[in-house]
Amino acid sequence: MDNKTFSTTDAIEVKNLECGYEGRVVLRDVTFSVKRAEIFFIIGGSGCGKSTLLRHLVGLNRPTAGEVRFFGRSFMGADLESRRNLLKTFGVLYQSGALWSSLTLRENVALPLEEYTPLSKGDIHDLVTLKLAQVGLTGFDHYFPAEISGGMKKRAGLARALALDPSIVFFDEPSAGLDPITSREIDELVVQVRDALGTTCVVVSHELDSIFRIGDRLIMLDKAQQGVIAEGKPADLRDLSVDSRVSSFLRTDRERRAAPH
């Protein structure tokens, strides 16, 4: 891949990516970019490949073709040491929170600091306290995941994702299973992270409220087409797209009923 075809101003650049498992292609020719400090959504119907794309972006699965770059640096073509260094630049909030059930919230958040930094126990303790405070979990250090609510688990997962002060955070369905009030609180946390730290946020979601409340831009995936069918600002795609798959997905039931036929 020609380095000159990539920008150094974008946080993430994806070109001609092909994703799949065990010989089965799920997504083809996926190309898009994410700007620095942008809240960028990956949306689409069930089974379209949203989580598959996320897993390939964060290195859990290797694409069969294409390229991904973070801040101009190749991820797929990097050697092991370079890939390890790139991994330190982003965090991931998994759908379930992915907390270790046998560890306290403090111990969960401390894990990446113990793994990737030479910090002393005292420094790690102070940083974990700060990260828990950032997500509104001060005083819950010694709770276990089974002792807290679903929304608090998402907050704890976010504290862990922020432990290394990443430049990019990936969110996999952050509002899944949450009531509307807690969902709004998680959205507000995403915005706070972006505004306070300049973090680039990539959110996999199908929640319209979240998409329109905090999304700067998005791509929409389609199962039948096995790729991207739209890219742009949420409101523009809802109101101006000539693709009925896009405009229909981005409208509420009330808006669809009111739309001219």
Give a yes or no: residue 169 inside a domain: yes
**Residue 106 burial by CB count (10 A; 0-12/13-18/19+): exposed, middle or buried?**
buried
DSSP 89-112: TEEEE-TT----TTS-HHHHHHHH
- Reported as a pLDDT band with limits 50, 70 and 90, residue 260 is low
> For the segment 145-187, what is each residue's pLDDT rounded down to a tens digit?
999 998 999 999 999 999 999 999 999 999 888 899 999 999 9
Strand partners, 21: 24
Tell me which residue of 19, 25, 17, 12 sits closest to 1, measured CA to CA.
17
Give a yes or no: residue 77 inside a domain: no
Which tokens hold the place of 150?
A: 């679903």
What range defines the domain where residue 153 resides? 37-59+89-258
Give a yes or no: residue 230 inside a domain: yes
Does 22 have pLDDT greater than 70? yes
Which tokens hold the place of 210?
A: 């979240």
pTM: 0.89
Give a yes or no: residue 6 inside a domain: no
Give a yes or no: residue 54 inside a domain: yes
Does 121 have pLDDT greater than 90? yes
- For 92, other C-beta atoms within 10 Å of its C-beta total 22
Task: Give the CATH number for residue 219.
Answer: 3.40.50.300
Our count of domains for the chain comes to 1
Give a yes or no: residue 232 inside a domain: yes
Which tokens hold the place of 77?
A: 């073509």
Tell me which residue of 192, 194, 124, 195 sits closest to 160, measured CA to CA.
124
> For the segment 179-227, what is each residue's pLDDT rounded down to a tens digit?
999 999 999 999 999 999 999 999 999 899 999 999 999 999 999 999 9
Give a yes or no: residue 140 inside a domain: yes
Q: How far apart are CA 154 and CA 99, in angstroms?
A: 9
Give a yes or no: residue 22 inside a domain: no
